[in-house]
Amino acid sequence: IPIKPSGQKGTCANIAAGAVVCVESEIRGDVTIGPRTVVHPKARIIAEAGPIIIGEGNLIEEQALIINSYPENILPDTEGVEPKTMTIGINNVFEVGCVSQALKIGDNNVIESKADLGKNVILTSGCIVGACCQVNTCEVIPENTVIYGSNCMRRVQTERPQPQTLQLDFLMKILPNYHHMKKTVKGTSTPVRN
Amino acid sequence: MASLLQPDRVLYLVHGEKKIRSPLSTLYFCRYCSELRSLECVSHEVDSHYCPSCLENMPSAEAKLKKNRKRICNQLNENFRCANCFDCPCCMHTLSTRATNIPAPLPDDPSKTAMKKAYYLACGFCRWTSRDVGMADKSVASGGWQEPDNPHTQRINKLIEYYQQLAQREKLERDRKKLARRRPYMPLAFSEKYGLGTRLQRQRPGAPITSLAGLSLKEGEDQKEINIEPAQALDEVEPLPEDCYTRPINLPEVTSLRQRLLQPDFQPAGASQLHPKHKHLLIKRSLRCRKCEHNLSKPEFNPTSIKFKIQLVAVSYIPEVRIMSIPNLRFQKECQVLLTLTNPVENITHVTLVGCEEGDPEDINSTAKVMVPTKELVLAGKDAAAEYDELAEPQDFQDDPDVVAFRKSNKIGFFIKVVPQREEDGDVTVSFKIRHDFRNLAAPIRPSEEGDAPAEAIWLTHHVELSLGPIIA
């Protein structure tokens, strides 16, 4: 979890140095993005009902939607509702078009295209949610689980998915050539990993 | 609205051994018999085998004799399986080979390590890898993967050899009896016990195809006596483990029935014993009319080509009726339904529609009375270049506007009147007969006629059934 510079709470995004966030992406609310994270254009990160903290080395592709939304039966104006923080770990991949409302996501997970994670799911580490799979149960998905198929079959794999370091390096070089980037916060004490 | 174009709403009746009603797009037309044929009244023949992922061709004869004859059991397995491609044992998708770099000691100097490529199989869909079942990475990209041996292979081989010999002996005895009556010039395959030697035997629908047919011993070989021990029944059976009822089930480790049964020789109960199997080959088949023995459909030999050498499909010879629009159908009220007729051939076709008479044995499904146009409908020929030809004069067919709604190149829309007779739930079904002229281009032109001799036209009649949807009260 990156160190937030003090005194910068509120509705602006805290983008650490070393993160590559395209201007065309939509970031609303209190969102913290760690270094070496790449956010593609048209990705949407919306912190409605609480802040979102995104770790290092994540890859958030186009049209992905990460939203910390209010539970269904609570209106936005109700008093006394505690804002819950959504935490996303390191080296996760959110592929094109996925929707994630899960409040806690660990490390090294892959959420494939058009997957749908509900509010009550907790992903640990090394999980792969397959394309078009909807997971809206109220459970903690054990480590190294693969959810695949039209019936959301599950199996456990022996090794976790590899972090996409090659892809991240490539994108961090190429994306600034074609897109404008959002301004990062200068002077964080987290060193950028080589 | 697109549901009206669904093919199964208009069915054509096929006169074969069974009366089959199916959409025109699934039927074939034998132009030598001038009749419609469905898949059930033609004989299917295997042309060639090919692998669906690497598209490698394997002609039938070669596929059978691929491996050493001694390993007969595995031969029956590898017969119709690809040598290069594997199926994921977990989700049955095709496995792909992936490479990683691992440091390995150089063969010359064990103290130094160099990066070597190691290959493993991985499934892109369920993320299964060959490392999950403990298969070591191989140093060659293809050809290094072996399927595990079946412990019962030897016993099965012996049984097969014994039964082959038995079949051979019985065949010789049968032939000896028959040869006494007939000419001695008889194909040896005529009375094979486990095979489908000649086409005469193959014509029987539903007869099983066994690959034992090609594996008979050659005539000159010595017939060694093979004896098999009968299987012995055991009194003692392995007892169940003690914690059988109390041990908690590790659900990800349990294989599903489908995963288990796809490997019938092992049927592993645990996911850590699921080994990948070679991919099954698919076939290219050709169809043959049973009456006149002409080919109706013959695909090309090359697996990458989807074209056909011979393609006598019904939609290219028979005018097709399609439903265009249906008004609200009311019980015992006359409704007007708009249908289209399309002419697939290049010459002008004349079509007459006739309603079914009372007591027509083919008319079993209709639930409404139908009034079809009495006049003959004329369809223009199909002209592929018509849309590019701006100077074409529109052909002048005197169309009765009560009957013909519109006309567009080789298609016309016409009205029929439907009076639903039954008030129950279910679709309103009407049927009528369509009679059209057909010019048989396959028939040879008589040499005595000189100049333009158009092929003779014969009149064909088909029974058509339409499903018009439910009655709206």
Domain segments of chain A: what residues? 13-71+81-178
Handedness of CA B255, B259, B260, B266 (dihedral sign): negative
Q: What is the model's pLDDT at position B308? A: 94
How much is the pLDDT for B367?
Answer: 86
Q: Cβ neighbours of residue B382 under 8 Å, at least 6 residues apart?
A: B343, B344, B345, B346, B409, B410
Which among B90, B126, B131 has CB closest to A158? B131
* Nearest chain A residue to B255, by CA: A155
Compute the C-alpha angle A13/A17/A23, nearest 5°.
50
CATH code of the domain occupying A13-71+81-178: 2.160.10.10
- Least Cα distance to A96 among A117, A71, A114, A74 occurs for A114
Paired residues of B308 in beta bridges: B299
Choose, out of B93, B121, B127, B137, the residue to mutate when testing the contact with A (most A CBs < 10 Å). B127
| For residues A93-121, average pLDDT | 93
Q: Which CATH architecture has domain B319-443+456-470?
A: Sandwich (2.60)
Percent of chain A whose predicted confidence (pLDDT) is above 90: 53
Token readout for B175 is 């032939």
How high is the pLDDT of residue B194? 54
* Whole-number pLDDT of residue B73: 39
d(CA B129, CA B136): 11
Give the count of beta carbons closer than 10 Å to the beta carbon of residue B427.
15
Q: Is B271 on the interface with A (CB under 8 A)?
A: yes
The pLDDT of residue B240 is above 90: no
Beta-carbon contacts of residue B338 (< 8 Å; ≥ 6 apart): B323, B324, B325, B326, B405, B413, B414, B415
Asked if A159's CB is within 8 angstroms of B91's CB, the reply is no
Say which DSSP state A182 is in.
P
Q: How far apart are CA A58 and CA A93, in angstroms?
A: 6
> Kind of pairing, strands B113-122 and B96-105?
antiparallel
Question: Cα–Cα distance between B112 and A41 in angstroms, integer?
Answer: 46
CB contact under 8 A, A149 and B131: no
| pLDDT higher than threshold 60 for residue A9 | no
* Cβ separation A158–B132 shorter than 8 A: yes
Cα A163 to Cα A113: distance, rounded to the nearest angstrom: 17
pLDDT digits (tens, 9 = 90+) for B394-416: 667 777 888 888 888 888 999 99
The reply to whether B252 touches chain A by the CB within 8 Å rule is yes
Residue B57: pLDDT over 50: yes
The answer to whether residues B36 and B462 touch, using CB atoms and an 8 Å cutoff, is yes
Q: CA dihedral in degrees (A105, A107, A113, A118; nearest 10)?
A: -10
- B163-215 pLDDT, tens digit per residue, is 888 888 888 888 888 776 655 454 554 455 555 544 444 444 443 444 344 44
pLDDT at A185 over 90: no
Chain A contact present for B90, CB below 8 A: yes
Closest CA to B418 of B344, B351, B336: B336
For residues B138 and B117, give the distance between their C-alpha atoms in angstroms, rounded to a whole number. Answer: 9
Q: Are strands B19-22 and B96-105 parallel, antiparallel or unpaired?
A: unpaired
Average pLDDT over residues A116-145: 90
Helix (H) or strand (E) holding B75: helix B72-79
Judged by CB atoms closer than 8 Å, whether chains meet at B132 and A157 is answered as yes
pLDDT of amino acid B64: 52
Chain A: which residues have CB within 8 Å of chain B? 128, 130, 145-146, 148-149, 153-159, 161
Dig out the tokens for B403 from the structure.
């009957």
Q: What mean pLDDT do residues B352-371 have?
A: 85
Sign of the CA dihedral with B250 first, then B254, B256, and B257 last: negative
CB of B126 less than 8 A from some CB of A: yes
Residue A156 has its nearest CB partner, among B91, B129, B252, at B252
Report the pLDDT value the prediction gives residue B160, as an integer from 0 to 100: 86
The token pair that represents B93 in the structure block? 């998708």
Higher pLDDT, B302 or B394: B302
Instruction: Give the tens place of pLDDT for each residue, B261-298.
Output: 988 888 888 888 889 988 888 989 999 999 989 999 99
Global confidence as pTM: 0.72
Band (B79; pLDDT cuts 50, 70, 90): low
Interval A27-84: pLDDT, tens: 999 999 999 999 999 999 999 888 999 999 999 999 999 999 888 776 666 666 788 8
DSSP string, B345-374: SSS-EEEEEEEPPTT-TT--S--EEEE---
Chain A: closest CA distance from residue B352 (Å): 50
The predicted pLDDT at position B117 comes to: 84
Considering Cα of A33, then A37, then A41, then A44, what sign does the dihedral take?
A: negative
Work out the average pLDDT over B439-456. 59
- For chain B, how many residues are written? 473
Using the beta-carbon criterion (under 8 Å), do A155 and B131 form an inter-chain contact? no
